[in-house]
Amino acid sequence: MGLSRAGEWKVQWANQWEPSRSKQDAYQCYVSHFPSTNAVNIDIAEVNNNPEKYPIPNHTLLVGGFPCQDYSVASTGAKGIQGKKGVLWWEIEKLLRRKRPPFVLLENVDRLLKSPSKQRGRDFGVMLACFRDLGYNVEWRVINAADYGFPQRRRRIFIFAYHNSTNHYSNISKERDIDNYIVNEGFFNKEFPIEEVVLSDNCILDDELIDISNNFSYQFFECGILLNKTIRTYKITPKSVPAKTLSEILEKDVDERFYLSDDLDKWEYMKGAKAEPRKSSTGHEYMYREGALAFPDPIDMPSRTMLTSESSKNRSTHVVRDSQTNRLRVLTPIECERLNGFDDNWTDTGMSEKFRYFCMGNALVVGLIERMGRRLNIIFENEQERLSEIAMTSDKKIR
C-alpha cells in the first residue's frame, strides 16, 4: 500500500501464509486489493524447497516482515550453517541467495537490536553477517511514527540493504565522511531527519557466522550502517514534527456495541497499578508489580502502540471517551485502520471483526513506507541500466 502511494510500482510476486489458521483472511484481503499480483498462499519454506514448481520472477526489491525470534545458528557438517529458530529469516536468506535482488527492505519490532537477552545484539549481528556474506551492505533505523506526524506511537526497525554491484553502493563507498552521509544523507535519515547524534560507536564484523552466533554481543543503537565489514551505529534524537492526535481519527455516530457496559470495575483493575502477591506454577510466591495506564486514553495526543489483542478485553486495548456521548468505548475497526494510515474499511473483505483488529495490530504505518518509496524512486532512477539487466537475466540457482 505504501509503495503504491509512492509511485508506479509493480509487485511481481507475493507470499502470505498463516500456519495456525484454516481461514487465510490476510491473504484474501491482500488479493482483493491487489488482484493482478501473482500471490501465493503456501508456506514459504515449500516455495524455497521447490524452486522449479514455484518459480519466483527476477525482482529489483525484496520486501518483507518477519517474527523476532532466536536467530542462533548451528554447524551441520556438510550442510554448512543452519538457523535453529528464526525460521522466516532463514527463508528470506534463502531467497536472497536464490535471486540476489539489488535492494531489500525489511521490518521488525525494535527489540531485534537487543535480542536475545542473554547475548544482546547477537540476532541482529547474525542477520548483518548473512547480508555481508551475500555481498550486501545495510542501513537501519528505528522509527517512531508519531515523531514524524502520524497519530500512533509505533516503533519499528526498518532495514534497507543494497548489493555491492549497485550504483548506490558504488556512490556510498566513495564517501569520505560516512558519519556525515548516514546522519544527513542516508536512506532513512533523508526522509526522517535527525536533530542530533547523542552517541556513536563502531566495530568490525569479520568473524565467521557460527562464531558470531556463539560469541558476538554488541550494543546496537537505533540508527546505523554496515558498510563492507564495518558497523557504525548512532544513538540519535529525531527531528520530530507535531503529530496527529487520536481525536483526529475518531469516528462520529459510533455503534452502541463499541461502548463499555457495566463492567467498568474490571477495566479499571486491568488498567490500574498493581502490587500484589502471586504464586508461580512451581509454588514460588512473589510480588507482582505493574504500572498504571491512562484510563481512558488521552485523545489530545497520538495513540499508544496498537497490538493484535486490540479486539479483546485487555489491559492494552484502547478505551476513549466519545466526544459526542461522553461515554467510554473501544476503538472501531475503521479507527484502527486510520491509526495505521489505511483507507477506511480496508480490512472489510469478509474476515471477522476480531481478525480485522488483529491485522491492524500486525500492520505497519503506511505513510512511513510511502516516504521510503519516494526515496527508492530516486535511487532507482540511478540504477535503470543495472535494473534492466536484472529483468532480462535468467533465474539464479540456489547456492
List the catalytic residues: 68
Name the grid cell of 198: 547523542
Cite the beta strand spans of the chain per DSSP E.
Answer: 14-15, 39-40, 61-65, 73-75, 81-83, 103-109, 136-144, 155-163, 194-204, 223-227, 230-238, 274-279, 285-290, 319-321, 328-330
CA distance 331 to 251: 9
Would you tell me the crossing angle of helices 25-33 and 353-362 to the nearest 10 degrees?
80
CA 262, 263, 267: angle at the middle one, nearest 5? Answer: 140
CA distance 211 to 167: 32
Q: Which residue in 52, 51, 53, 56 sits closest to 15, CA to CA? A: 56
Would you tell me the crossing angle of helices 122-133 and 87-99 to the nearest 10 degrees?
10
- Specify the 3-state DSSP secondary structure of 250: coil
The residues pairing with 40 across neighbouring beta strands, listed in sequence order, are 15
Burial of 280 (0-12, 13-18, 19+ CB in 10 A): exposed
